[in-house]
């Protein structure tokens, strides 16, 4: 069995835990790959949009791509340089659309989760195409990631069942590969994670997805503030332990597959791995960015400073999602949802009443 070298971890009762940080303790623990950025960090807004934004990815030329959310019609996919500049439309998702995660394949085609389907397009500024359906029957399609064999893996997001599917490169029917343990079993037994302020309990347990170089798939668990690790074999078969609790489906991951869980990760959305295998997470409900490092455990890179009102909702982070790395720069989308630290969402650079309702921003990493 392969062993990831991602974290120097302590295993307790089958769950993988890492060193802790306390509120207000924002100093580096020493010897780590990252240092906290500090309250005075200057985030650069590279794009604002009158429509909603959530998903984000990048190409190899330093450009960011994000699909807008539009209740009135098709959803344009915009491209903007990570250094800032004019945004251009390079395609669109046909209505009805509420797109989430997106990723490029090796040929340069862009895949966008728009539940219950996955759409595909080849970006073009000169002749923006309308995306076509690549796969259907993927309820809640949210996070997406390609494995080394060219298969697309998809999480079920807000459906709350923790399903992760694989769709082969040729398209077709999705295969359910495993499940992250949901917050409650089929009999309704479990627990409820309720962000305050908030209007609903948090049920998302399979959100952002990312593969490491060994082929292991990491899954952000928004509700628990955790990241799960599923070992995936050379031919795409899941080799992690499943079936430890008979009240869940037989393909549900055992708790031994919890890679890291920490209060700083509560509200974890998208994740990205750097070249050294550190996991960078956009923690939207805390308006924070957190990294799990090899040497320092869990490090809070940045969290919105407290404003004069005693809240953390004025930015620069406004419910951040979908982190991507462009060289030594970290970029995020901000959907400005009104939950927990981002409540009320009427403050900051973007607001629900507009004119700008979402943004993309970047910061250089130390």
Per the DSSP assignment, residues forming a β-bridge with 49 are: 358
| The pairing of beta strand 288-293 with beta strand 117-121 | unpaired
Predicted model pTM: 0.91
Q: Could you give phi then psi for residue 200, rounded to 5 degrees?
A: -150, 155
The pLDDT value given to residue 71: 84
The pLDDT value given to residue 294: 67
User: What is the rounded distance in angstroms from the CA atom of residue 77 to the CA atom of residue 208?
Assistant: 20
Per the DSSP assignment, residues forming a β-bridge with 326 are: 329
Strand order across the 163-167 sheet: 144-146, 152-155, 163-167, 175-179
Q: Could you give phi then psi for residue 254, rounded to 5 degrees?
A: -75, 160
The answer, yes or no, to whether the previous bond of 286 is cis (omega within 30 of 0) is no
Pair 170, 176: CB distance under 8 Å: no
Torsional class of 307: left (φ above 0), alpha (ψ -120 to 50), beta (otherwise): beta
pLDDT per residue rounded down to tens, the chain (366 residues): 443 434 433 333 333 444 433 333 333 333 346 888 888 789 999 999 999 999 999 999 999 999 999 889 999 999 999 999 999 999 999 999 999 999 999 999 999 999 999 999 999 999 999 999 999 999 999 999 999 999 999 999 999 999 999 999 888 899 999 999 999 999 999 998 888 887 788 999 999 999 999 999 999 999 999 999 999 998 889 999 999 999 999 999 999 999 999 999 999 999 999 999 999 999 999 999 999 986 778 999 999 999 999 999 999 999 999 999 999 999 999 999 999 999 999 999 999 999 999 999 999 997
Give whole-number Cα distances, 99 to 111, 180, 279, in Å: 10, 22, 24
Residues 6+ apart with CB under 8 A from 283: 264, 265, 266, 267, 268, 269, 289, 290, 320
Question: For 10-185+197-364, CATH number?
Answer: 2.120.10.30
Pair 327, 60: CB distance under 8 Å: no
Domain boundaries, given as residue ranges, for the chain: 10-185+197-364
């Amino acid at each position: 069995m392969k062993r990831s070298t991602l974290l120097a971890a302590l295993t307790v009762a089958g769950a993988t835990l890492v060193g802790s940080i306390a509120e207000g303790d924002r100093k580096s623990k020493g010897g780590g790959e990252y240092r906290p950025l500090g309250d005075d960090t200057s985030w650069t807004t590279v794009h604002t949009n009158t429509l909603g934004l959530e998903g984000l990815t990048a190409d190899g030329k330093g450009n960011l791509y994000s699909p807008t959310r539009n209740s009135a019609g098709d959803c344009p996919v915009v491209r903007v340089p990570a250094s800032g500049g004019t945004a251009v439309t390079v395609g669109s998702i046909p209505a009805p659309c509420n797109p989430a995660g997106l990723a490029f394949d090796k040929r340069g085609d862009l895949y966008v989760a728009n539940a219950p389907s996955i759409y595909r397009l080849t970006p073009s500024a000169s002749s923006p195409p309308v995306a076509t359906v690549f796969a259907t029957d993927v309820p809640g399609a949210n996070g997406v990631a390609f494995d080394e064999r060219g298969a697309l893996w998809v999480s079920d997001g807000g459906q709350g069942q923790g399903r992760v599917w694989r769709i082969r490169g040729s398209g077709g029917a999705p295969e359910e590969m495993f499940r992250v343990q949901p917050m409650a079993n089929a009999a309704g037994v479990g627990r409820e994670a309720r962000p305050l302020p908030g209007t609903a309990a948090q049920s998302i347990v399979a959100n952002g997805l990312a593969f490491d170089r060994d082929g292991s798939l990491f899954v952000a668990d928004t509700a628990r503030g955790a990241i799960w690790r599923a070992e995936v074999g050379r031919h795409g078969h899941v080799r992690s332990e499943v079936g430890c609790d008979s009240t869940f489906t037989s393909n549900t991951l055992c708790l031994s597959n919890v890679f890291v869980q920490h209060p700083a990760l509560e509200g974890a959305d998208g994740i990205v791995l750097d070249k050294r295998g550190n996991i960078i997470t956009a923690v939207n409900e805390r308006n924070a960015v957190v990294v799990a490092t090899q040497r320092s455990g869990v490090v809070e890179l940045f969290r919105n400073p407290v404003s004069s009102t005693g809240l953390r909702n004025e930015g620069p982070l406004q419910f951040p999602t979908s982190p991507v790395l462009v060289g030594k720069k970290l970029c995020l989308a901000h959907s400005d949802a009104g939950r927990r630290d981002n409540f009320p969402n009427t403050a900051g650079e973007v607001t629900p009443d507009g004119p700008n309702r979402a943004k993309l921003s970047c910061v250089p990493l130390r």
